[in-house]
Amino acid sequence: GQNIDQPTEMTATEGAIVQINCTYQTSGFNGLFWYQQHAGEAPTFLSYNVLDGLEEKGRFSSFLSRSKGYSYLLLKELQMKDSASYLCAPMDSNYQLIWGAGTKLIIKP
C-alpha cells in the first residue's frame, strides 16, 4: 500500500534550524511536494523535488532521496510565523498526491 510517515509534532526555538523528515512508500513516483498549512487556512506550496538532492529556496530547503524513499524539509532562522503544519506529499504513478497527516511545528520564543 501507499504510506507516508512524518513526526506528528515538533518544537523548535525562534532563530534556530529544524529538519522535518518524511519517509514514503508509493506505487510509482512522480516527485514530492511540501506544503505549509497554518491553522484554519489552506495548504500553500513550498517546494517540489523530482530528482535526488537538495533544493534551496530562501530560508527553506528540501531534500530528496528516491532510493531511500526519504525527504526532509529544512527551515533555517526560524520565525514565529513558521508555526504551522508541514505536509509531505509524494505523487504516485497516477499523478495523485498521497498526503500524510502532517507535522505540526511549534516555535517558541
Partner 1 sequence: DAEITQSPRHKITETGRQVTLACHQTWNHNNMFWYRQDLGHGLRLIHYSYGVQDTNKGEVSDGYSVSRSNTEDLPLTLESAASSQTSVYFCASSGDFQETQYFGPGTRLLVL
Residues forming contacts to partner 1 in the complex (CB under 8 A) are 4, 30-31, 33, 41-45, 48, 50, 87, 89, 91, 95-97, 99-102
Nearer to partner 1, 78 or 102 (CB): 102
Nearer to partner 1, 78 or 100 (CB): 100
Cβ-contact 32, 91 below 8 angstroms: yes
Cα gap 48→92, rounded to integer Å: 14
CB of residue 43 vs partner 1: minimum separation in angstroms?
5
Nearer to partner 1, 42 or 80 (CB): 42
Cα gap 18→61, rounded to integer Å: 11
CB of residue 12 vs partner 1: minimum separation in angstroms?
22
CB of residue 58 vs partner 1: minimum separation in angstroms?
17
